[in-house]
Chain A
Amino acid sequence: MGLEAKLNGNSFFTTTVDALTEWARKNSVWPMPMGISCCAIEMMASGDPKYDIARFGSEVMRFTPRQCDLMIVAGTVTYKMSHVVRKIYDQMPDPKWVIAMGACTSSGGMYRSYPVVQGIDQFLPVDIYLAGCPPRPDNLLNALIQIQEKIGRTKARDFQDKPLPRLTVVQPNGEFLQNN
């Protein structure tokens, strides 16, 4: 029995658009599991019955970027892989957040070597740096909670001046239609 039992009949409640969207957004963060190496195993473990990421509304790991709003980059990003990561990030719809999970992703970690990007913030905006090699699943949950807090602070007007992404639509007759 929840709120709806009290609000039966013609009852209503008022709130602001911001509060409502924030509330909805932050409790259903859909992660894009960018699992690259060892940290991905801990990310998997956070979905298992013991740690159960579903308690925070984020069990819907989608492997297509277009349905996600949080990218968890879990693993060593090499130069060869960086292009792929960026491409996937670009495909995610706004607003979007990024967790750099693990020492490698945050700073190159133990790999001070030629193929490894020394920190993904060289090509991606990062919201949370998660320490550990690998961070334990509880730590990832902690990062998720912090992301939720951060989402809770965003207002609709933060996106007001952002240009809309350029869309190209192919018409049935083969013509291209562009929005700007």
Chain B
Amino acid sequence: MEKLTKDDVHPKILEALLADSNITLEDALENEMILNMGPQHPATHGVLRLLLRLDGETVMGCVPELGYLHRGYEKLAENMNYYEFIPHTDRLDYLSPMSNNVAYALAVEKLVGIEAPPRAQYIRMIISELARVASHLVAIGSLAMDVGALTVFLWTLREREKILDIWDILCGARFTNSYTRIGGVANDAQPEALAKVKWFIDQYLPNLDECERLINTNRIFIERLDGVGVISADDAIDIGLTGPSLRGSGVEFDLRRAQPYLFYNEIDFKVVTYPDGDSLARYFVRADETRESIKIIRQALEKMPQGETLLNQPKKVLPKKTEIYSRMEELIHDFMIVNFGINPEPGEIYHAVESSKGELGFYLVSKGDGKPWKCKIRSPSFVNLQSVPQLVKGHMVSDVVAILGSLDPVMGEADK
């Protein structure tokens, strides 16, 4: 291992790291230890870099350093029209791309003032919940892997593959789907896809139980998470945690319930909370949430009406490809939308959905052009990561990976 030198760490980061102590850099490098974790580290879930100040094995201070995956989404969004940005939203939270699409499409629809037909909304609901299951499965698996249980990871990945297969049938891509369109979805859900969804939800619960049996009775797993990284409800709200991480602290806040979008107000589901606020609670919330998701999907499948899946509003919504090729008017509308955009009236909106990591919001400002004047992505992972320094303080180095795993950050989203 190479010794960390001044060249590797920017002085400003060091300053932040040593801020609450009275030691100097040279001193810190001699007596205490500064440990660099990431950006290439298996347990940081991507390219997060943490600088840890250690006293023995205890973490005294921690400074996260982001930006290794900053891809300039917001700048890109300002330079393309609303439709073109849909594929980019896939790659934000690449563990649940479908629900990002939905979040973005809902935001644009709100800005334009249109609403997708009911069948499309139900399809969106089903795919967002599937995305949540897929994402939580990876979260559970990689958390277990981080604390040393490799088998669970393979088992949860196996379940996730089944969801990817469903998406494959639905839109032809395993992930990075771009299935949602503004004003609906790209194509109606095929009977085979729906049949596969039914098959999946029927066999999922026993399989989840099986995975849980592996770890819930495992003393190593429980003891490495129990009481590690505790955050109280008030602190959690103050630091801006949302999603499972917030509900693990006992706050019953879920945007699906608080500000229902799609048809969540017609669906019966429970907002899962656990009071402890530690890593174990966050894990339990995730596992139970997938059960609720299955419940939601089951109801949505029952309630789903027949009908259109794309809104018929030629000035705002791209017409179907078959119509473009056969009818003049649709061709003109298609040309206008592709070249000049959908020109929503000037104004600004913020729309947020409950994605698998927390509150995913889009703040869109329109000046009446085809391109958004400003598109800000409020990404849950970014905000959740902010709690890391608070959570890891006073714990052992090896707990850092458990805490990170329990927060389940995705760097594509955190760095934007």
Contact = CB atoms under 8 A, between A and B. Distances in A.
A34 interface: yes
B303 interface: no
B94 A37 contact: yes
Contacts of B40: 34, 63, 84, 88
Nearest to A114: B72
B384 interface: no
A84 B39 contact: yes
Interface residues of A, number: 31
B68 A35 contact: no
A110 interface: yes
Contact of A76 (B42, B69, B138): B69
Interface residues of B, number: 31
B67 interface: yes
Contact of B39 (A40, A81, A115): A81
Given A34-B40, A38-B94, A113-B76, A76 B71 contact: yes
A45 interface: yes
B177 to A, nearest CB: 12
A111 B76 contact: yes
Interface string B166-179: 00000000111000
A119 interface: no
B95 A41 contact: yes
Interface in B344-358: none
26 contacts: A35-B46, A36-B46, A37-B69, A38-B90, A38-B94, A38-B412, A41-B94, A41-B138, A42-B174, A45-B164, A45-B174, A48-B157, A48-B161, A49-B158, A50-B158, A50-B161, A76-B71, A78-B68, A78-B71, A81-B68, A110-B87, A111-B71, A113-B72, A115-B72, A116-B71, A134-B176
A75 B411 CA distance: 11
Interface of B: 39-42, 46-47, 67-72, 75-76, 87-88, 90-91, 94-95, 138, 154, 157-158, 161, 164, 174-176, 411-412
Given A76-B71, A115-B72, 19 more contacts: A37-B46, A37-B94, A37-B412, A38-B94, A38-B175, A38-B412, A41-B175, A42-B175, A45-B174, A49-B158, A75-B69, A78-B69, A80-B67, A81-B47, A84-B40, A84-B68, A112-B76, A115-B71, A133-B176
Contacts of A42: 174-175
B46 A80 contact: no
A38 B176 contact: yes
Contacts of A112: 76
Contacts of A96: none
Interface string A15-53: 000000000000000000011111011101100111000
A32 B47 CA distance: 15
